[in-house]
Amino acid sequence: MVTGGKRVLSLQDLSCVGQCSLTAALPVLSACGVECCVLPTAILSTHTGPEFDPPVVHPLTDVLPAVWESWMGQGFTFDALALGYLGAGAIDFAARAVDDLRDSAFILIDPAMGDNGRFYSGFGPDYAARMASLCSQADILLPNLTEGCLLLGEPTPERYDGDFCLRLARRLGELGPKAVVLTGLDCVPGQATNLIYHAGNGCAVFQGQPRLPGRFHGTGDLFAAALLGRLMRGDTLEQAAETAGAFVAAAIRRTGPEHPYGVQFEGCLGMLG
Ligand code: PXL
């Protein structure tokens, strides 16, 4: 099928080993039939998870403006811009990219900065505040529960219900994004739940997949890329989230215990085309 030649720009780190961020976005968006241009904000030897030694980190902050000026000088345009894990040093550049593209591109912001109630190492309240101010320009804001709470400067509750999630989504909607998708919620027993909230009309939909045992790195990045890819293919937000959720669940099911640092999604890419 002809896709209409959509082109997205993925702005996030390149964790060279780890099946997250750019090494997830590239294959997933390609599988959706969407061109994926990349701008790595930092190179890391691996992701920062506990399965690896502390990574070698090389920020690319210094080179980002020159790349950007080269692209803008050549008149490049993108149908969408997706922000993910940036590293603390690249938030100002990301703000500039959002500013330059907001009138012409769909903006998806995954405010990747924490999980399990805590910031990832290297991130803190200043980053969260800066990210919160960027959210007003998002078409879709895609936090997990922890990130949603960090954006609002609040502690993450250990237990919560669907009403709590709905109130959180509404308040995140007040930061200004057109829609909020809260991911990986634990508000329905036995389910990994996503909440889709449309800020314009207050419409909210809960979607669930059976909760699979274990904790898996990179699933948020896979979900974000699949969601964007399917949106670029013309799906509604609900359809795109359903397909992205099923893709991530299938990838988790394929992942063996001998593979602890990410999910083996490669065999599931056919679900996205
Ligand atoms: O999956 C989010 C992510 C992306 N990039 C790096 C990370 C993480 C999560 O820990 O460490 C480098």
pLDDT tens digits for 227-256? Answer: 999 999 999 999 999 999 999 999 999 998
Tell me the average pLDDT across 20-39: 98
Residue with tokens 């490049």: 76
Considering just the CA atoms, what is the radius of gyration of the chain in Å? 17
Ligand 1 atom with minimal separation from the 218 CA: 1
Q: What's the confidence (pLDDT) of residue 1?
A: 43
Q: What's the confidence (pLDDT) of residue 81?
A: 99
Q: What is the dihedral of CA 245, 249, 251, 257, to 10 degrees?
A: 150
Confidence of residue 31 (pLDDT cuts 50, 70, 90): very high
Q: Ligand 1 mean position to 218 CA, how many Å?
A: 7
Q: Which two tokens stand for residue 145?
A: 């529960």
CB atoms within 10 A of CB 199: 18
What pTM, to 2 d.p., does this model score?
0.97
Q: What's the confidence (pLDDT) of residue 111?
A: 98
Confidence of residue 4 (pLDDT cuts 50, 70, 90): low
Q: How far apart are CA 98 and CA 114, in angstroms?
A: 21
Cβ of 218 closer than 6 Å to ligand 1, yes or no, is: yes
Cβ of 6 closer than 6 Å to ligand 1, yes or no, is: no
Q: Tally helices (H) and strands (E) across the chain.
A: 8, 11
Q: Name the residue of 21, 58, 221 to mutate for ligand 1: max ligand atoms within 8 A of Cβ.
A: 21
pLDDT over 80 (residue 2): no
Q: What's the confidence (pLDDT) of residue 88?
A: 81
